[in-house]
Structure 1
Amino acid sequence: MSNLYFRDIDKTNVCIVKNIKLKPGQDKFIESIEKCLEEAKAHHEWHPVAIYSDEEIIGFAMYGSFGSNKDTWIDRIMIDQNFQGKGFGKIAMTKLIDIVSKEYGVNVIYLSIIEENKIAHRLYESIGFELTNERDPNGELIFKYTRKF
C-alpha cells in the first residue's frame, strides 16, 4: 500500500476514473465524478486527481485553495468499492494532506461531510481533523486539520 500516489486526470485515465464505483448507498454522501470534473472545469481552483495503487486506479480526489486567505479544501475523495476497507482511504488522505499543504503553503486544511456519513467522520477524526461546529453552504459539517511540525 505504500505505492499509493496521485496523477492528474487527463485523456489517458479519465474513462477509468469515471468508472469508479461506490458501495450501494454511498452515492448519497458525495457528488458523482462527472459532476466533480464539470465543477473543476468551470472553476479552475479545483484540482481533480486519480488515486493509484501501483499502476491501478483505485479512487478519485479533488482539492483546491480559494481567496486571499488561501482557504484550502480537500473537497472530494472516494475509493472504489473493490478497494474499500483496506486502509487506502486513510493513506490517501494522509498523503493528500502533505501534498496540499506543500502545494499551497498552508498549515490548515478544511473538508466537509454530510452529517450521516459516520464512517468518514471517524476516519477524518482518526487522522487529526477536528469538527469546527460550523456548516458549509450545503449544510455539511466542516472539519479543520491543522498541520503540526
Structure 2
Amino acid sequence: MITLELSDRAGRHVVLREVDDENWRAVADVAPLDDQRPYVPALAARYLLLSSREGVWHSMAVCADDTVVGHIMWGRDDDGSYWLGGMLINGPEQGKGVGRAAVRTLMAWLAEREGCRELRLSYHPDNTVAARLYDSLGFQPTSDSSGDEVVAGRPVFDGRPTTLNSPSP
C-alpha cells in the first residue's frame, strides 16, 4: 500500500493499493464520464491488461477509505524517467479531489525510487481538466509527444518532486 495520509474533499483517506485478487474486479469496472471517453478507455480493464501483458506498467487501485474509486499506473522508461499513466477516476467520484491525492501520492512514492530524476506523464491536448491538474502539480509540457498526446515532466531532486524553477542541488 502507498499512502501519504492525504484525504479527498469528503475527508476520505486516499491510498494506492496493489491490484490483487480482492480488488481487480472493482478496478476493472472503473469508468470515466461520457465526455471523457475520447481521452481514456471506457473501462480501466484496458489498463489492467496493459499492466499484466506488457510488463512495463504497474497498476494500482486508487482507494478512498476502503472503496476502489479509480486506477493509476506507473512505469520506468529506458532513459530512467518514471512515468505516471492510466489514471482513471470513476465518473461519480470525480471532482472530489481523489485524482489530485492519487497523483500526489504516486509522485512522492516514485520520487523515492532509486535513480528517479524526473517524473513524466502524457495527456491529450484537448483534455483541459487533466492539463490543469497536472500543471497545478508542477508538470510542464516538454517538446516530446507520445502519439497524439502532450508529454509533461517534472524534475526530482533528493527524492522530492520539485518545480522546474527550483535550483538543482
1:33 pairs with 44, 47, 62, which one? Answer: 44
2:108 pairs with 93, 98, 112, which one? Answer: 98
1:47 is aligned to 58
Amino acid in the other structure paired with 1:34: A
Aligned length: 147
2:69 is aligned to 58
2:128 is aligned to 118
1:142 pairs with 137, 148, 151, which one? Answer: 151
CA contact (8 A) 1:65 1:104 kept: no
1:17 is aligned to 27
Amino acid in the other structure paired with 1:74: L
Moved over 4 A (4+): none
CA contact (8 A) 2:28 2:48 kept: no
The structure with the largest helix share of the pair is 1
Secondary structure of the residue aligned to 1:97 is helix
> Cα 1:26–1:83, aligned 2, differ >3 Å: closer, same or farther?
same
TM-score of the two chains, using structure 2 as the length reference: 0.81
CA contact (8 A) 2:18 2:60 kept: yes
Secondary structure of the residue aligned to 2:34 is coil
Amino acid in the other structure paired with 2:113: E
TM-score of the two chains, using structure 1 as the length reference: 0.91
| Structure 2 runs not aligned, ≥5 long | 1-6, 156-160, 163-168
Shift of 1:20: 1.1
Question: Deviation per CA, 1:27-76, whole angstroms, max 9, x where unpaired?
Answer: 21123422211111122221100001110111100111022x21211011
